[in-house]
């Protein structure tokens, strides 16, 4: 965990940060957040994180919109103060604390949002998950109907991750009543069909518009890859050539097992390796030095 945090405009020791128990983020999950990956002391995809933050706040009707330049400065200062070379910056904005529990919050000039951010040092490029892939299990998607807003209502995701851990897996894929995969507990879900088509669910209220997902889409388009924004079933995923998840916390992680069934031959394949190489290079990673395994064509070990 970081030594320095930021709370309502003040940098302070992380263990000294205090938020009111009347805060609406605590009482109602009336809050939004962003997690931005950091590599080589630089935030990754910062503009897209800021755009999604702005959208989430507007969708929840926040009358206060923080200055994007100020948020950038906070990230830069947290990186510097914590000497963060590789890891994550977490930012949360709530509708504030007013000394009472009222379903209807003050608005307009009366709004006093709580803004909190901290840093976490952790490897995000050369990890066992990125190198070797992970096992995933499926769970029923019990979340609310506006998953496209990045709120802190994460209890369903917590339960899904906990169930995955109890079943010996690293993550969970949410499945709707129609039998179609929506997304991971904290990531977007992808498969590659045996004909080479790459498939990920189309953007809607059902899933979050992942920042890593959208950057991957740009990279794929630039390379001329075929990426289809379509829904897919659990059975289609089990029979896919490859599968993976994307998100700021792990960037691009191969999925080699789903509900106990191997995906392909149970090892990361050439398509996900290509996405890893392109994405890492796009964010300034020296792939040969930091992730030489990503230079393999896949399934060569």
Residues designated catalytic: 150
* In contact, 114 and 96? CB cutoff 8 Å: yes
Q: Which two tokens stand for residue 74?
A: 């906070």
Sign for the pseudo-dihedral over CA of 24, 27, 32, 36: positive
Give the residues across from 188 on adjacent strands.
246
Report CA-CA distances (Å) from 262 to 2, 236, 239, 288.
Answer: 38, 13, 9, 29
3-state secondary structure of 251: strand
8-state DSSP, 85: S
Long-range contacts of 167-172 (CB under 8 A, 24+ apart): 167/137, 168/135, 169/134, 169/135, 169/136, 169/137, 169/257, 170/129, 170/134, 170/135, 170/136, 171/134, 171/136, 171/137, 171/245, 171/255, 172/136, 172/137, 172/138, 172/139
Beta strand ranges found along the chain (DSSP E)? 4-7, 10-13, 31-39, 42-43, 86-94, 114-121, 134-140, 171-175, 181-184, 188-192, 198-200, 227-229, 242-247, 251-258, 261-262
Q: How far is the C-alpha of 270 from the C-alpha of 245, rounded, in Å?
A: 15
């Amino acid at each position: 965990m970081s030594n320095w945090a930021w709370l309502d405009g003040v940098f302070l020791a992380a263990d000294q940060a205090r938020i009111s128990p009347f805060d609406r983020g605590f009482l109602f999950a009336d809050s939004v957040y962003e997690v931005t990956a950091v590599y080589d002391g630089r935030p990754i995809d910062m503009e897209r994180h800021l755009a999604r933050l702005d959208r989430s706040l507007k969708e929840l009707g926040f009358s206060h919109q923080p200055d994007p330049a100020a948020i950038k400065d906070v990230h830069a200062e947290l990186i510097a103060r914590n000497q963060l070379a590789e890891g994550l910056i977490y930012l949360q904005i709530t509708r504030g604390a007013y000394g009472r529990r009222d379903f209807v919050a003050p608005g307009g000039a009366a709004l006093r949002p709580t803004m909190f951010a901290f840093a976490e040092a952790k490897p995000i490029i050369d990890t066992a998950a990125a190198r070797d892939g992970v096992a995933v299990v499926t769970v029923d998607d019990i979340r609310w109907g506006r998953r496209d807003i990045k709120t802190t209502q994460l209890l369903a995701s917590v339960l899904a991750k906990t169930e995955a851990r109890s079943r010996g897996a690293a993550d969970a894929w949410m499945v709707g009543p129609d039998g179609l995969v929506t997304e991971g507990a904290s990531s977007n879900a992808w498969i590659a069909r045996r004909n080479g088509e790459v498939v990920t669910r189309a953007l809607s209220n059902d899933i979050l518009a992942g920042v890593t997902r959208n950057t991957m889409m740009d990279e794929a388009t630039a390379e001329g890859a075929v990426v289809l924004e379509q829904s897919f079933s659990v059975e289609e995923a089990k029979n896919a050539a490859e599968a993976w998840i994307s998100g700021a916390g792990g960037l691009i992680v191969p999925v080699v097992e789903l509900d106990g069934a191997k995906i392909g031959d149970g090892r990361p394949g050439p398509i996900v390796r290509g996405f890893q190489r392109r994405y890492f290079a796009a964010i300034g990673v020296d792939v040969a030095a930091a992730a030489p395994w990503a230079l393999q064509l896949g399934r060569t070990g």
